[in-house]
Amino acid sequence: MKLIQAGKPTRNAYIELFNGKFRGECINERWFTTLAYARVVIPAWRQDYNE
């Protein structure tokens, strides 16, 4: 596995785009009160993202 250099997010724009969407559309939109709730919401968001 090849990793990008720390502090160089432009080296892999695709994953940075995904991380931004994940944070903006999933993580910041909800208050995860339990791990069980996160385990339900995150896979549902991922499925919606991939469709």
Tell me the H-state helices in 1-51. 13-22, 35-50
Answer yes or no: is pLDDT of 1 > 70.
no
pLDDT score for 6: 73
pLDDT score for 12: 76
What is the largest distance, in Å, between two alpha-carbon atoms of the chain? 35
pLDDT in tens, 2-45: 777 777 767 778 888 888 999 999 999 999 999 999 999 999 99
